[in-house]
Amino acid sequence: MRRPVLAANWKMNHGPSEARAFVRQFLERYAARPDRTIIFFPPALSLTTLADALRNRADLELGIQNIWMEDKGPYTGETSAPMSRDAGARYALVGHSERRHVFGESDAEVAKKMAAAVRNGLTPILCVGEKLTERESGVTNDVVLRQLRVGIAALDREAIAGIAIAYEPVWAIGTGRNATPDDAAAVHGILRGALAQDGDRESAASIPILYGGRVNPANARGLLSASGVDVPLVGGASLDAETWSLICATSNT
């Protein structure tokens, strides 16, 4: 049975001072649980702050929101996978919808970032998801399968077995619209089926598939209970320590 993975993506929020205050409040509210993995994805500038603040909580992991595809070089403003790992990250978000649709990141660039994460010992979480026009056109499965297959194309089977996937429907992020647990479960089933077809069923069954798209304390339990959903990847609701602690403690029963 896969361990639930709950990930907080702070996006461009909580600099070092705010991050330190957040952790203090969160640790007062959330006791360690052995049955789940909690990951924080702060802005890069706050990564070392969280690494220091969480040093006595081995149950709480850290990740980087974005990495560059090369390990070093003349790439002003970028952050490499080796730098991220040195700063305390063990995970990396790759291909987040905002990287794809705001910054124009291509599927091919996502694939290179996946490879960079793996070769530097970071566990990549490959983000896939469709826009509203794609959903209304009935091509959701085509879109997420293309993003999945291109994203893992440069990885061997052993590396693929060690990644995670996040399904984040773009139409449900910051729009006030929600995907239902059944919506999420259907796409997660498509993704896991493709992983099994391209690799082996045992490895595919062990890969966590998260859901990201307006997750909050009210819907977290329903999503956790949905078939094949190892939720959640949380944006706005993870910015408040009390709200995030409630989500982290959510039971799937």
| Residues designated as active site | 96, 168
The token duo for 127 is 């983000």
Q: Cα–Cα distance between 52 and 188 in angstroms, integer?
A: 35
Q: Which helix or strand (DSSP H or E) is residue 211 part of? A: strand 209-211
Rg, Å, the chain Cα set: 17
Please name every residue paired with 124 in a beta bridge, in sequence order, or none if there are none.
92
Distance of alpha carbon 80 from alpha carbon 116, whole angstroms? 8
CA distance 233 to 167: 9
DSSP tag of 213: S
Contacts of 197 (CB under 8 A, 6+ apart): none
Report the phi/psi class of residue 121: left, alpha or beta, with left for phi > 0 and alpha for psi in -120 to 50: left
| Residue appearing with tokens 């290179």 | 112
**In angstroms, rounded to a whole number, what is the distance separating the alpha carbons of residues 166 and 148?**
10
Residue type, 38: I
Residue with tokens 């705010």: 18
Q: How far apart are CA 114 and CA 17, in angstroms?
A: 31
